[in-house]
Amino acid sequence: MRVCRHIIGVFLCYVLAKGAGAYAAAPPSSEGTISYRLKPIWGNTPYLEITLRVPEVQNPCLQMPVWCPGDYHVQNFAQYVSRLRAEDGYGHALAIKRLDENTWQVQTNVAEDVVISYRVPQEPPGIFCENVQIRPDQVFVSGTAAFLYVVGEKECPTRLEVDAPKGWQVIVPLTPEQTAESVVYSAEDYDALTDSPILIAAPADLLIQQFVVDGIVHRVIFFDHPQEVTEPQTLTKTLQRIVQAEGEMMGGLPYSQYIFYFDVDGRGGGLEHRNSARLVYLPEETLTDFAAFAAHEFFHLWNVKRIRPKVLGPFDYVHPPHTRSLWFVEGVTDYFAWLSILRAGLITPQQFLAHWRRAIQSYMANPARLQVSAEQASWHVWDAGNSEGYEGLSYYDKGALIGLCLDLELRYVTHNTRSLADVMRLLLRRYAPPHAGYTEEELRNAINEVAASDLSDFYNRLIQTTEEMPFGACLAHAGLDADCEPIPGAAEEAIALRDRWLKGR
């Protein structure tokens, strides 16, 4: 068990408390597990009843996230918390003081076990995902929208118990543990708990598939309108090929279970998690669109969930973290999504190149490219509130094209021996947990290291400026013109590079 009284958290609570002119800080004390119990209640106004047991604390501060990782806009989940109560281990009520919009403090005399309970109702969805959705036949919960955390205790192990109606299934990518009365799930800390979407539904309202890659079970859950899925086996087979392709590209699968949640005809888009992803599935979408979307969310299990900017984990849930690297987090993920569905044989090289032709044309038709750089679009996303970019420039769109240019440049300067995937594997080894994430400088350095030469000027031009992107020069490395069409009489080296890019590694 890890020690779970963190001086920084205690200090923060102290500052908050002093700022409110009220309570003294809790001293560092023992270690322990924080237990959450979640129970959906149906009635005129459905809600979740959440109970939180915190061992051995004094004057604990409770906070509700302001934002949800992956969805870069402010949602202020504290606004939904009601009927917040606290008791000591003997059932005596404890006073609670609200310190600010997101923070409450429970008053205890000594360090003791505290039981906290509260309600959250159905909540509106975020941009990419449902938050709390309670329907007669199904409940979906995104952790940041539902779970309070104890300031200074976010790194404590947590346990989750779900009180579901009899016969319903609970689907969550956490390790289950059967107790005498119920199933309890354990998560290493609050980040892991909230990174695990919870779906509760009757088996008749679920369509469940599964496949195995590298001995690991991957579950595919269609919910909401599962009867609208006409070819679940085709979709599942597609996912299996994506998992194989991306796993091979990244040197193996770093988890013991994975869940694809597909909200059929649902709201929002896709949201990544370390061992799962929740995506909307529209029955009318093409298999290529399905594959590219799933490949994007799946690749996030590396790019952002394990390979991440320093500020994106462990998370500050109250102060939205600013990073200049969302073009890498989102755009480069999209580049690898398309590369992996090519590798998986789900699209042809011609379709792959046609995708980039359209992407370049669309980017070149956007006047914002001359006004906003990739890092500005990343940094100012919180001002825009759209989780996509700033002032008309999408870090998805430009970032994917940066991925294209970087990959071709790396292949070129390394004489067709290394690629952007080598950068990803280097970043994974060097910056994934338990290491801290990367800084902007470390990201650039990793690219230079794989290139074995200094690409800083090239990199800076793509990331920091609004200069036109060097599509013609980069595609020429692969014997292609700016429309992604083969150049007649291209050099042998360029054709070899193109072959390896489109068919090889």
What minimum distance in Å lies between the beta carbon of 371 and Zn ion? 24
Identity of the amino acid at 443: L
Closer Cβ to Zn ion, 77 or 336, answer by number: 336
Rounded to a whole number of angstroms, the minimum distance from the CB of residue 206 to Zn ion is: 25
CB atoms within 10 A of CB 351: 13
Could you give the CA distance from residue 59 to residue 110 in angstroms, rounded to a whole number?
Answer: 8
Select 214 or 289, whichever has its Cβ closest to Zn ion: 289
Letter string b/e over residues 481-504, b meaning 16 or more CB atoms within 10 A of that residue's CB: ebebeeeeebeeebebbbeebbee
Q: Which CB, 330 or 397, lies closer to Zn ion?
A: 330
Cβ-closest position to Zn ion: 330
State how far the Cα of 433 lies from the Cα of 10, in Å rounded to an integer.
23
Looking at the DSSP assignment, which residues form a beta bridge with residue 85?
Answer: 117
Q: How many other C-beta atoms lie within 10 A of the C-beta of residue 82?
A: 10
Smaller CB separation from Zn ion, 306 or 498: 306
The smaller minimum CB distance to Zn ion, of residues 149 and 327, is found at 327
Alpha helices per DSSP H over 414-490: 420-431, 440-451, 456-464, 471-476
Nearest distance in Å: CB 271, Zn ion: 8
Min separation Cβ 254 and Zn ion, Å: 18
Least separation in angstroms between residue 400's CB and Zn ion is: 11
Q: Spell 159-180 as b/e; 16+ CB within 10 A means b.
A: bbbbebeeebebbbbbeeeeee
> Which residues contact Zn ion (rule: CB under 5 A)?
330
Question: Cβ of residue 332: shortest distance to Zn ion, in angstroms?
Answer: 10
**Residue 36 C-alpha from the chain's centroid:** 22
Using the minimum distance from each CB to Zn ion, give the nearer residue, 330 or 409.
330
User: From the CB of 272, what's the least distance to Zn ion, in Å?
Assistant: 6
Here the tokens at position 376 are: 């500005």
Nearer to Zn ion, 27 or 385 (CB): 385
